[in-house]
Structure 1
Amino acid sequence: MGILGWIVLGLIAGAIAKAIMPGKDPGGIIVTILIGIVGAILGGFIGRALFNSDINSFFDLSTWLLAILGSLVLLGIYRLVTGRRAHA
């Protein structure tokens, strides 16, 4: 799966991550979508490094789980960083 596939997967994974972690995001929907894309790509790289397998299928369950997990982690970190700045 190429970078375009990871971007499309990231858009969907970002929306799923937003549904799993509801709440107000400081950047709005555009930032959440971008975080989903970066999180999906990050999840793919981490999955490839940890499991030493080629994660290339768009329809594979492990690909989706890694993309959603990467998006959730990145969204959580983003909320922690921007939440502290907003209250400071």
Structure 2
Amino acid sequence: MLALGFFGWIIIGGLAGWIGSKIMGTDAQQGVILNIVVGVVGGLLGGFLLKLVGVDVQGGGLIFSFLTCLAGAVLLLFIVGKVTGRR
């Protein structure tokens, strides 16, 4: 995902964070900036976890990067929800 550059991170991260917040039902609590942060951090989390299981995340392409960000964002929102006691 590093090949996407700064604006790629913002666009892919924002989209993944927004869709992840829709899936987890937290969209009403989040704004655009938080969606971007959740998506980017989710991408880092998803990429880290995929590397741990041996998946090559560097050569995955745009759709793979988006799906990695989305899965990481959903996981991040789930963890935050459990830690804070929210749904």
Verify same fold: TM over 0.5: yes
Q: Which among 54, 58, 66 is matched to residue 55 of structure 1?
A: 58
Q: Is the 8 A contact 2:13 2:35 kept in 1?
A: no
Q: Which amino acid aligns with 2:66?
A: W
Change (3 A) 1:78 1:51: same
Q: Is the 8 A contact 1:9 1:40 kept in 2?
A: no
Name 1:39's counterpart in structure 2: 42
CA displacement at 1:39 relative to structure 2: 0.5
* CA RMSD after TM alignment: 2.3
- Segments of 5+ residues of structure 2 without an aligned counterpart are none
Distance 2:85 2:15 in 1: 24
Identity among equivalent positions (%) equals 35
3-state SS of the aligned residue for 1:51?
coil
Whose Rg is larger?
A: 1
Q: Which amino acid aligns with 2:78?
A: G
Q: Which among 78, 81, 84 is matched to residue 82 of structure 1?
A: 84
Name 1:70's counterpart in structure 2: 72
TM-score, normalising length: structure 2: 0.68
- Segments of 5+ residues of structure 1 without an aligned counterpart are none
CA displacement at 1:15 relative to structure 2: 0.8
CA displacement at 1:50 relative to structure 2: 1.7
